[in-house]
A and B are shown apart, each in its own frame.
Chain A
Amino acid sequence: MRSPLSPALRRLLAVQRPYRGWMAGGAALALLAALAAIGLMAVSGWFIAAMALAGAGGLAINYFTPAAAIRAFAIVRSGGRYGERLVTHEATLRGLAGLRAWLFRRLIPLAPARLAALRSGELFARLRADVDALEHFYLSVLVPAAVALLSTGAALLLTLIVLPLAALPLLLGAVLAGVLLPAWIERRAARASELAVRESAALRGMLLDALRGHSELLAWGAVAAHNARVEALAAQLDSRRTRIDSVQAVGSGVVGLLAQLTLLGVLVVGLAAVHRGALAPPQLVMLSLLTLALFDVIAPLGEALAQWRATLLASARVFDLADTPPCFTEPSSGTPMPPAYEIAFENAHLRYSPQLPWALEGVDLVLPAGARVAVVGASGAGKSSLLGALLKFYPLQQGRVLFGGQSVQALPGDALRRRIAVIAQQTTLFNLSLLENLLLAAPDASAAAIERAVSLAQLDPFVASLPQGYDTLLGEGGALVSGGEARRIAIARALLQDAPVLVLDEPTEGLDARTARDLYAALDAAGRGRTLLLITHRLSGLAELIEEVVVMEAGRVRARMPVGEYLAAEGGR
């Protein structure tokens, strides 16, 4: 605990600002319940002792006031604790949901360029486990610490009034149990709890591999070996947790011990005072029980602090990710899109990292509106990078990309991408219904438009074969449809987007010749009146769709020619 509130935690509180009312309310209720519990014990002790003394001495005693106080304290304690739990949990859950939503929205502009290094298992771990770990901060650290601090203050004040000398052991005990012990626990558990965070993220990643790569592992006879690795990591994680729990157990035991010792100290001081006649005996009983009650409030701090380092690490992981700057600063939302659709690359240079060779190395290419151009080349020639730059997913190191005469850098990314429909090399479908998957790009599409897109994409027979039709769930990543079906769904989805520019990235890869041939006609119809950019390493039947061919090689445009010329040259080889 070098700094009580690291920058990350201050950020955390800032993000949680909308839930401040809930958080403060929960803390207030917690304090109320704690004070009532301390008051209950103290008054009860005093009451019993006073009653006993009165009985022994045959004195009269007003038992109505203390009895009423006991009742009031009891009700406030129970009700307060109920309210506290409800409100603090409400605050936590709202805070966490808000934080998760906030983080997810921060991730959106980072994909794909800035997230390339992180697998979705790791991202998931941050979004789930790390955000959940932050729940701990408010619920187990912030609220108990505030409550313990204020309760100790109140208890000390009372003790100072009744018997100033007794405040000394109480203060000593409270500082030991509430500050030094938690600090010791935090130090002892720091390494283990930090490692636990990292290993639990790694475990999620490994499990994801075990499940998603199961077919491969099974085919290679590697399932047992991978499982053994999973179990070894899990065992390591378990040993960290055992370590943390042991430290916690010792800590909570020591709190009990400290409570006893403090009580002894109070008794020693108190009994001497009783002897001197400086303190009424019932007040000594009151002070003793007050001490025990106060330690009940302080006790949870030690256990909570064992996770402190994990909380710090989790918040650092969350904010590191959230603070990653996107590659592009978006222009103000009102920036209008140009009316034209001409696409131009000017001396475009792109590479994915300084160590890697150029993916695009000085590409100059103009695609007038309505052009039908194929970009061909071997894999790794830079065809897909062209698309990444056009969609404003990757920044150029040099040169620029123009859309409608304006640099894409100055255009709002979402509006730009709305005008460019892409049928990607790898189709990503979501575990939504077929209809929802189709509507992702065009939520307001009419039934007629959907029918048209589906039939253009040759998807009718597939839809007809589904017992639940459009409402069929497609499974995670579209796992329940074949590769060819997935491609056709992606084509229908792109057609629904109704954009002036249509990009086909290997549109018939994974389709058999007949299906592909049926699609050519559909794509031809869909491409009418639009700019058509075809990215492929094999032109074959797609040649009918286009007018010109651009040949790429090692990140440069080698040649540009009419399609007939290209086919003739190819045929001659």
Chain B
Amino acid sequence: MGQAWLLSGILAAALFAHAPLARLWPQWLALLVLAPLRLALSVRARHTAFGAAQQLGAGLRSRVLRGAQALGPYGLRTQASGDLITRLVDGIEAVLAYFARYLPQAASAALIPPLLALFVFPADWVSGMILLLTAPLIPLFMVLVGRAAARASERRYGQLTRLGAAFIEALGGLVTLRQLGAAERFAAHLDGEGEEYRALTMQVLRVAFLSALVLEFFATVSIAVVAVLIGFRLLWGELHLRAGLFVLLLAPEFYLPLRALGGLRHTRMDALAAAQQLSRLDAVAPLGAAARAGSFRAMGDSAPEIRIERIGYVHSGRGAVLRECTLQVPARKVTALVGTSGAGKTTLLSVLLGFAAPYSGHVWVDGVELGELDPAQWRARVAWVPQQAHVFEGTVRENLLLAAPGADAGALQRAAERSGLGAVLERLPQGWETPLGERGLGLSGGELQRLALARALLREQARVWLLDEPTAHLDPASARAVETMIGAAAATRTVLLVAHRLSAARSADWVAVLREGRVIEQGVPAELARARGAYAALLQAERP
């Protein structure tokens, strides 16, 4: 504004007074001082806004990540991870842009025009009135357009996350797709999704650009009206040139914040749509957190006895997986769970790990209900081998250390030896430092299984072993070695293992047969084999 006033002064003086350059030096100087001041202030303002927005974004990112994790292992599996990552990375960035750019601009749009009007009025009240009357039309119009745009924007955002999920899945399953000869068809499917995204994006952008166009139009017309009126009043001699130029230089500045706000419209729409998706995750209550007041019960260090009493569990979208499931898992023994696939064996382990919250029944650990124990403390005592282990980005060593960050070289060596991973490491030229690809690319199924076993074994302090098919993918000799190792470890531990193959159950101390979410038979394997029950039938089925 000061610049405009000085500039108009110089021009007016030069035009009318034919003033020599030298006489205007105070104005020149002031102009030279104002320019860097404006630079410093604008840099500072932007820096502050960006920093604040980033802090907000970082806070939101960790909240949303925790929200996603609060869905729990089962809830998380129903979400496509590509979709979640799109939300966590791109969604946060959309929200960040809103805070860093749109909000400060909105503040400018609210403050600057009235302030400028304050200076325009004394100079020329006619122009002042025009500015003041047209300005409110702009936000009003924006609100009207915004309503229509919000829905389109949300659809677009939904499509964006779907597209991300489809891509990440296709990339993960590229080998399978090639194998099935379906890669080109899947690519065409992706093209369709991409085209849909483009169409939806353009729909949103058309609305945003249209509103920008109308804004521009309003602003331009208003400026033109101001200019024409100034021109004529100058012609009639009703207005001094300096005032006229001053107002003319200010008129675009008057609309600039509003126009800039219009240009950032899609930033706001994107942010709103993204925020809507993010808030869905933000609102998730932590699984089974039940916000326990008071302290948890303390736990002993020895192998506990676990009693499962009439547990019922339902998967969302599926029938009951566990019903009235009752089982005693004694300490210092190996208990095997057998049964047809889908009988609920893995789910029972999930309940014990606290991944799945049963709708009824109790789990007692040494007489204390599982819910009364601190979940973190409980899991610290548990070593778990999942059915399909996730391989993390990093080396073999890093993958093992994730399970027990404090383990020393000796512990790593012991775990590798007992799981059979040692032989695998010998084959790898980089040994412990071999970087692992996804799903352990470069490792065979059996080698992966050993990695998962070693990870569990590294948790040497664990007194409860929950093993989901520990010998899957292993050749008979390796499997026998692992079974022997488990039997020996049970001397100081409580072991519950899921066995699809009965050879793994045969060496157990106790075996329980699950059918349709219930324990229908249990006992010592050798005795059950002689009886004519469910276990004997399973054995019969396995015999060639």
Contact = CB atoms under 8 A, between A and B. Distances in A.
Nearest to A33: B216
A290 to B, nearest CB: 14
Given A249-B43, A379-B475, A476-B80, 13 more contacts: A53-B15, A78-B217, A79-B213, A129-B89, A207-B85, A216-B455, A226-B402, A231-B61, A271-B10, A355-B429, A426-B439, A476-B82, A477-B172
A441 B181 contact: yes
Nearest to A111: B174
A48 B472 contact: no
Interface of B is mostly: helix
B386 interface: yes
A121 B393 contact: yes
Interface string A258-287: 001101100110011011000001001100
Contacts of A271: 10, 14, 21
Interface string A118-136: 1111011001110000000
Contacts of B80: 431, 476
Contact of A537 (B54, B230, B339, B476): B476
Interface in B492-540: 500-502, 537-539
Interface in A321-357: 352, 355-357
Contact of B339 (A107, A210, A225, A512): A512
B164 interface: yes
B340 interface: yes
A417 B187 contact: no
How many A residues touch the partner, as a band?
35 or more
A257 B38 CA distance: 8
B224 interface: yes
Contact of A275 (B20, B346, B441): B20
A306 to B, nearest CB: 13
Contacts, number: 448
B2 to A, nearest CB: 12
A365 interface: no
B201 interface: yes
Given A242-B51, A422-B179, A124 B317 contact: no
Interface stretch (B324-332, B444-452, B482-490): B444-452
Contacts of B543: 541
B119 to A, nearest CB: 18
Contact of B167 (A127, A426, A440): A127
A517 interface: yes
B341 A357 contact: no
Interface stretch (A55-63, A149-157, A367-375, A524-532): A55-63
Nearest to A377: B475
B389 interface: yes
A512 B47 contact: no
Given A86-B209, A257-B39, A514-B538, A424 B15 contact: no
B180 A209 contact: no
A70 B89 CA distance: 46
A187 interface: no
Nearest to A355: B429
Nearest to A468: B317
A479 interface: yes
A314 to B, nearest CB: 15
5 contacts: A56-B241, A211-B85, A253-B43, A256-B42, A511-B500
Nearest to A385: B444
A417 B181 contact: yes
A480 B341 contact: no
A497 interface: yes
A142 interface: no
Contact of B402 (A116, A222, A242): A222
Interface in A456-480: 462, 465, 467, 475-477, 479-480
B172 A379 contact: no
B476 A221 contact: no
B140 interface: no
A211 B379 contact: no
B437 A44 contact: no
Nearest to B44: A249
Given A101-B187, A238-B54, A378-B475, A216 B386 contact: yes
Interface of A is mostly: helix
B209 A538 contact: no
B65 A538 contact: no
Contacts of A418: 181
A479 B78 contact: yes
A537 B475 contact: yes
A208 interface: yes
Given A101-B194, A220-B404, A425-B445, A55 B235 contact: yes
B120 interface: no
A48 B245 contact: yes
Interface stretch (B68-76, B125-133, B289-297): B68-76
A65 interface: no
B173 interface: yes
A344 to B, nearest CB: 21
A397 interface: no
B500 A218 contact: no
Interface stretch (B28-36, B272-280, B357-365, B410-418): B28-36
A51 interface: yes
Nearest to A505: B445
Nearest to B543: A541
A192 B326 CA distance: 59
A160 to B, nearest CB: 22
B220 interface: yes
Contact of B447 (A379, A480, A484, A497): A379
Contact of B69 (A53, A54, A223, A475): A223
B209 A82 contact: yes
A81 B236 CA distance: 35
A51 B65 contact: no
B424 interface: yes
A391 B172 CA distance: 19
A93 B43 contact: no
Interface string B361-405: 000000000000000100110101011111011000000001111
B512 to A, nearest CB: 14
A425 B51 CA distance: 50
A212 interface: yes
Given A116-B441, A210-B65, A220-B403, A510 B174 contact: no
A205 B174 contact: no
A477 B78 CA distance: 10
B437 A56 contact: no
Contact of A120 (B35, B172, B190, B542): B172
A478 B400 CA distance: 27
A79 B472 CA distance: 68
B482 to A, nearest CB: 12
Point out which of A53, A54, A121, A214 has the most chain B C-beta atoms below 10 A from its C-beta. Answer: A214
Nearest to A267: B10
Given A82-B212, A120-B172, A538 B476 contact: yes
Contacts of A217: 402
Point out which of A55, A246, A517 has the most chain B C-beta atoms below 10 A from its C-beta. Answer: A55
A380 B447 contact: yes
B220 A78 contact: yes
Nearest to A241: B54
Contacts of A252: 42, 46
